[in-house]
Amino acid sequence: MNVMNTQQAISELIALGKWIGAKGWVPATGGNFSIRADDCFVVTASGFDKGALNNKCFLNVNSAGDILNGNGKPSAETALHLALYELSLDTHCVLHTHSVAATVLSRYIKGDVFSVSGYEMQKSLTGYTSHQDTLSIAIFDNDQDMNRLAQTVRDYFSNQSHKLQHGILIRGHGLYAFGQNPAQTKQHLEGLEFLFACELERIKLEAAL
């Protein structure tokens, strides 16, 4: 798998930020993005509008989260990005968004997994070939201690019966989508957000009957 250099990673994240921002999925400077580069992890700095990023909105960090170069400070949520990279060497991009659908649905579901079947759009996610398959996305309770939350995610996926793929939900917070490259991660993000929106609409319609 080809690994990007730092500038390529920044260019990809700027373009993704514009696309995600236009969707309304990163309001009020929310969200954060990262890419595994050739000698570091490129992450968005805290406090910037993710829909209007430029070259000065990024930091390079190592696997421990130490800043190698760049201005500002990384989001505390960088710890969760790094945990996802640690859990899978195939993961090369992580996009964290705050859509209404993902945020509300993650609170509505009381269990620790979002499961869905019956939607053709499930086939937008790597490894799924039929609407009859069941897609499952783990949900974790939000925690202001991001290092503790990152460890909770590590512990959960250390169980081999829990498969790390496509994304995770943080309750009342949003989605972390990931993939082997930016294009795949974008597809996973868009596919999951579509499914979340569909399920939220289905729940509202059924409640109105």
Residue 127, both tokens: 């490894």
* pLDDT given at position 148: 97
Q: Is the pLDDT score of 201 beyond 90? A: yes
* pLDDT given at position 86: 96
Q: What is the chain written as a DSSP string?
A: ---B-HHHHHHHHHHHHHHHHHHT-SGGG--EEEEEBSSSEEEEBTTS-TTS--GGGEEEE-TT--EEEESS-B-TTHHHHHHHHHH-TT--EEEEE--HHHHHHHHH--SSEEEE-S-GGGGGSTT---TTS-EEEEEE---S-HHHHHHHHHHHHTSTTS---SEEEETTTEEEEEESSHHHHHHHHHHHHHHHHHHHHHHHHHHH-
* pLDDT given at position 75: 86
Give the Cα separation of 97 and 113 in Å (integer).
18
- pLDDT tens profile 72-81: 898 889 999 9
Q: Is the pLDDT score of 124 beyond 90? A: yes
Beta pairing class for 41-44 and 32-36: antiparallel
Give the pLDDT band (50/70/90) at residue 1. low
Say what percent of the chain tops pLDDT 70. 100
Over range 43-63, report the average pLDDT: 96
C-beta separation of 59 from 80 below 8 A: no
Q: Is the pLDDT score of 209 beyond 90? A: no
- pLDDT tens profile 140-182: 999 999 999 999 999 999 887 888 999 999 999 999 999 999 9
C-beta separation of 185 from 178 below 8 A: yes
Over range 128-132, report the average pLDDT: 92
Share the mean pLDDT of the chain. Answer: 95
The owner of tokens 């999925």 is 25
Q: Is the pLDDT score of 114 beyond 70? A: yes
Q: Which CATH number fits domain 6-208: 3.90.650.10, 3.40.225.10, 3.40.640.10, 3.40.190.10?
A: 3.40.225.10
At 33, give phi and psi (nearest 5°).
Answer: -130, 155
Over range 59-79, report the average pLDDT: 93
Over range 103-124, report the average pLDDT: 95
* Global pTM value: 0.95
* pLDDT given at position 3: 81
